[in-house]
Copies of this chain bind each other. A is one copy, B any other.
Amino acid sequence: MSLDTSSTPVRQAAEAWESLFRTQVGVMRRLQRDPAFKELSMREYDVLFNLTRCPTGWIRLNELNEHLLISQPSLSRMVERMEAKGLVQRRPAQHDQRGVELSLTEEGLALQRRLGRAHVRGIYDLLSPALTEAELAELKSLTDKVLASLAASES
């Protein structure tokens, strides 16, 4: 009969989310200090990274957009700038004349690898003092579950 909500599942979810979110902010702030990331914004790096995760090497702009926290027009123009820099290339989509597909150029791939190494090293330096290997695995397992659940409930 209490109105107190401090131990409800709702609050528990909020607290877990808050901690996860603050962790993301805290780690991201540290990573951004790395001089390697002077050359490219984190958002641009994220585009390169997403492209490396693409089995065919090509991805539709709208699909890429779903993996980023950026509006469609902003992505459209960011990709335009990155194409001008020679980091990515576009082509009309295979079976949809409206669509555009994107892939890394050699130069884009080389840059991603270089920054990726710095990135991964930075992450290791930040996480390894905090968590054991078992805990890292546990953390990944939990967030993978959330990702799977989000994917399953895509409307």
Chain A residues at the B interface, C-beta cutoff of 8 Å: 9-17, 19-30, 32, 66-69, 119-121, 123-124, 126-131, 133, 135-140, 142-150, 153
Contacts and interface: CB of A to CB of B under 8 A. Distances in A.
Nearest to A129: B149
Contact of A147 (B26, B142, B144): B26
A130 to B, nearest CB: 3
Give the interface centre of A23, A32, A129 by most chain B CB atoms within 10 Å.
A23
Contact of A138 (B26, B28, B138): B138
Contacts of A135: 142, 145
Given A9-B133, A13-B127, A146 B69 contact: no
A142 B153 contact: no
